[in-house]
Chain A
């Protein structure tokens, strides 16, 4: 296991991900529904890549493939040069729903990964650190149903970060939050990514969110998803939403998504 082999956390480099000619489809009642069509993407260690595309186009499917939860029908996905054979705690997913276990406290939910890998005894101190990192101090003993949507998503983030992932996979993690919480958590996520070295892969259908957070924007077509554009966002952090450069990119992204007439 990668996480076990490399013991010291903070110095781990981010993961390089190489997606090559991936095709994927679902079988629905005997009918083949193509979801991904010839997707190739090279992600460098430490990058923050946002995947943008119309709803239901197959971005989340691509994330599941990278997470190792599903296997592509054809093509290959490699993490640091090794083919992805299944899920691994070095590649952690935060889903749109926090999916905390209701029978576990925040502390025990965050402890999940360490417990699953048998690292609970040696790495117990990391649980408190992760809870602090996401700003949930004092809520360790709370049960999920006592948390607000934003707090639950923070707990889910802590549950991911406690494993020291080298690739953080975010599947619309802020999609269900109210706009105020969403905006503040965007900055917090960027700060977390800057402090650590992990590579981040973010699926979103919020153009502004993608431009505010990512170093690179990949725009997909509708289903089956094909890469339409791959744009590097050359702007330092902290970014400003009113930045004319970002506004220009936003216009461009809307054109790519076929929404130019709303500009």
Chain B
């Protein structure tokens, strides 16, 4: 993320343009004229994906897979589009700009798909059923998408409820301990004792203390989130310089104002560190809880697919889980960037 107020490239461009007649204005002339240059990265990526399509479609599987032809078609389509974009060369636009910056990745992915296909379905160098060709994942998505979708929904809902409870409780506890001596007296030793315990250790206790495995999981996820949030909020509140309070007090601020308008905003950067730690910890607890007791969710799906030797489904679920977790982290980053935009230029962003 850029910390600069003025885009240096833009400044450079204006300078060049102001520099005089020598700097020719850069126009996009598609496919014709002397300025034409193909986008070589796109051409390479297109060829790599066409190679993947060729290996998949023209070479027979050792044990036939259902969706081999469909996979070849998809790979050929990707290759075709990339080839076309590569040939068009100097075409530009916001979407294409994104595509072009990931050129090297597109080539690598095409080659990886080719290699993966070859060593699994075609040569069987990697032993089945533990290793699955790409069409195995495609099969899982196309045949079992309702179940995968439902499981992803369950996981996100469970995580969302637990995380929200934990973050809210941790925040309130952290502010109280940071602010009030009495809360610190009672809360500090408890947090000291319980804080370092891995939340997963509570699993057996939680499953018999709570009426359902779902509520037990909510408790565990809330605990996993709440402890780092509480500790970091507390340290954030207690590191607010006393001069901030002096200012607010001389201007007529009472205790409520000091907490809500001084302590909390000043502590917010710490709170977000706690939220990130809590989210990571919540992922762990979610998957473990779903594997141990909850009868839905991606963790459960992983376990279920493995028990059933459906390794394609297992990899498919793993990929979905990765996408979900990474999206949630990105979302939290967006919220932080929005709330803490004042930190731009103050800290390395």
Using CB atoms and an 8 Å cutoff, list the residues of chain A in contact with chain B.
Answer: 1, 3, 67-69, 86-89, 91-93, 95, 97, 99, 101-104, 112-113, 115-117, 143, 145-146, 159, 163
Contacts and interface: CB of A to CB of B under 8 A. Distances in A.
A99 B252 contact: no
Given A69-B250, A97-B243, 18 more contacts: A3-B252, A87-B250, A87-B252, A88-B252, A89-B250, A89-B251, A95-B246, A99-B244, A101-B262, A112-B248, A112-B251, A112-B261, A115-B257, A117-B252, A143-B342, A145-B345, A159-B247, A163-B251
Given A69-B246, A99-B243, A116-B257, A92 B268 contact: no
**Which of B253, B254, B262 has its CB near the most chain A CB atoms (within 10 A)?**
B253
B247 A69 contact: no
A146 B345 contact: yes
B346 interface: yes
Interface of B: 241, 243-244, 246-254, 257, 261-262, 265-266, 268, 340, 342-343, 345-346
B283 to A, nearest CB: 30
Contacts of B253: 112, 116
Given A115-B261, A116-B257, A143-B342, A69 B266 contact: no
B90 to A, nearest CB: 39
A1 B265 contact: no
Contacts of A89: 250-252
A103 B247 contact: no
B250 A101 contact: no
Q: Which 3 A-B pairs have the closest CB atoms?
A: A113-B251, A116-B253, A89-B252
A68 B246 CA distance: 10
A117 B250 CA distance: 11
Given A145-B346, A146-B345, A93 B250 contact: yes
B265 A103 contact: yes
A214 to B, nearest CB: 22
A258 B33 CA distance: 86
9 contacts: A69-B249, A69-B250, A88-B252, A95-B246, A101-B262, A103-B340, A112-B247, A116-B248, A143-B345
Contact of B243 (A88, A95, A116): A95
Contacts of B247: 93, 95, 99, 112, 159
A91 B17 CA distance: 57
A3 B265 CA distance: 27
A86 B253 CA distance: 11
B251 A102 contact: no
A93 B262 CA distance: 17
Contacts of B340: 103
Contacts of B251: 89, 92, 112-113, 116-117, 159, 163
A88 B251 CA distance: 6
A97 B343 CA distance: 20
A49 B253 CA distance: 27
B250 A91 contact: yes
**Which of B248, B251, B254, B266 has its CB near the most chain A CB atoms (within 10 A)?**
B251
Contact of B250 (A67, A115, A143, A145): A67
Contacts of B262: 101
Given A95-B243, A145-B346, A103 B249 contact: no
